[in-house]
Structure 1
């Protein structure tokens, strides 16, 4: 699943290798928002594909400055990717875990910030974070985004998929790029808990692929008021092709090892599963593709791994997205290739905006004021986008409330 699974900050030792619709969104579509008459121009160091025709760009102040990667670290995409995975600071955050049992008897873990119900109002915006493959609440990029949103008065929850972030596995099924059932249940669950709040989501890599597929599937009835996709592999067939080239084999080996480690913790669940499963192959997988062949594609009813990758790609979902969506990619991402980005579909969708940085690696973006070991450059852009959406939503809600009051007064 490169693809499908690619996307967490892989825990690679760099020295080990010499080679539920609870309410309609208050936000209709990006096209409904009048663009600034004279928006500041993004810096030419950034590639911008703007289907929204300027509806969001004026709010993203960070984009007027050049993208300046940190010296030495960002000279090579692999160095930047590995540096971010190993040396980026991991903020100390206390989290309260909630285990959510799904309809098929599976389990996912939701990590909340304790005390938020005392500090925040029921109307405070709520942000769902979706980490990458094998990733969870402990990953540095997740924690930095959590703290950034929390500092702005947002309620935040991290969605740890089955087996990730020490989330329990209670059935013989993990998650995948194709499976949206857990996403539906998590959004419905948090939406029911905070019915007065606007819901948003941010996903990285595999989490981004799942998030964009969810947005496309839900389309006009999506309960989210906006979303952000980062380092999305988009086209999993293309991502798989590149994953077996050169130094990328190091990531492949590291991620397959992480998958095997999760699998072995829960191997007894799969002991008598039978059918087309190849459990020994999954248990000893040397590549992510092997793991997907032995377990993932069979679990989710695909005839082959290639069939699984082709039908699980979020690139095909962009045309159906009806909520504001910001996509941020790095041109030199070794795991989410630039050539797999659906630029034309993004350009044709009035709800979508794409930013491609010249460098950044995979989940790196070692640039900006907090580089080299602080938050990634993207965090500032993400929060600018989300706060803009929430201001627009609040303004519309206030306007709607005022109009209702006038009508009621006239009727009386």
Structure 2
């Protein structure tokens, strides 16, 4: 029986993979469709929102979801989620994960990247940064004040995967001992090397880059009154017109992101 099963599996592995037409051949298109349209059914999950101020005046928010089903663990377990670029607890894929995890007895906490929530105003002249770990750390520490004995499993999607892995490897960073593991999902490991592929039309990569750029730019436009004060534009040498007309993420990074956070060009 085992031998027959083994032969069956081997024959399956020799079959040529044929992707679903239209959207099946491009992971970029699948990501865009799921983020835009979502699932046929998007679960409704109830949360309690918390907030805390950073030293620069920025207000960090996160949502806490209580378990909805029995746990298989003897200890209290929490999944801490860091979403992808320009995403939050309101994103479809995040809600799907939270719904499933809570039904299995996990408590979930989800970071809302600065500036992403449409009805929450920023309290400092900046939005989230691709590799900034301070907001994620603040969320964990504030949460542990209420649940000091819980075990933490960190989960990061895409850009959130970069933040989670960077957070775990940062030298000199004081991290809570409650962390028992981490999962990075769809993480882009080398932005510089992968950029040339995102600028190509093959596999609709250019459309995916355009989608990410539009998401990022929409966050900036939403808070432009707070972000483009005369003091900020003068201090960081930012031209609002160039920021709002940026066509790609590299262009947006050059005219805005790297300037607001004090990085040199290339």
What is the TM-score of this pair, normalised by structure 2?
A: 0.79
When the two structures are aligned, how many residues end up with a matched partner?
A: 238
Q: Which residue of 1 aligns with 2:138?
A: 185
Cα deviation code 1:145-194 (max 9, x no counterpart): 11121112111111011012334311111121232221221121112221
Residue 221 of structure 1 deviates from its aligned partner by 5.3
Aligned counterparts, 1:253-402, within 5 A: 253-269=210-226, 270-272=228-230, 273=232, 274-275=234-235, 276-304=237-265, 306=266
1:81 to 10, 31, 52: 31
Cα deviation code 1:258-286 (max 9, x no counterpart): 22221122112222111322332222222
Distance 2:78 2:130 in 1: 24
Cα deviation code 1:205-243 (max 9, x no counterpart): 111111111010158953222110011111110122222
Distance 2:74 2:116 in 1: 29
Show structure 1 runs of 5+ residues with no match: 1-42, 45-67, 307-412
Pair 1:139 & 2:97 matched: no
Cα deviation code 1:39-66 (max 9, x no counterpart): xxxx99xxxxxxxxxxxxxxxxxxxxxx
Q: Which residue of 1 aligns with 2:6?
A: none
Q: Which residue of 1 aligns with 2:195?
A: 240
Query: Do the aligned partners of 1:130 and 1:204 also contact (CA within 8 Å) in 2?
Result: yes
Query: Do the aligned partners of 1:256 and 1:288 also contact (CA within 8 Å) in 2?
Result: yes
What's the RMSD between the two structures over aligned residues? 2.8
Q: Which residue of 2 aligns with 1:213?
A: 166
Show structure 2 runs of 5+ residues with no match: 1-8, 11-16
Distance 2:156 2:217 in 1: 23
Shift in CA distance, 79/277, structure 1 to aligned 2, threshold 3 Å: closer
Shift in CA distance, 184/77, structure 1 to aligned 2, threshold 3 Å: closer
Distance 1:129 1:69 in 2: 33
Distance 1:238 1:292 in 2: 16
Distance 1:258 1:168 in 2: 17
Shift in CA distance, 187/245, structure 1 to aligned 2, threshold 3 Å: same
SS of 2:24's equivalent in the other structure is helix
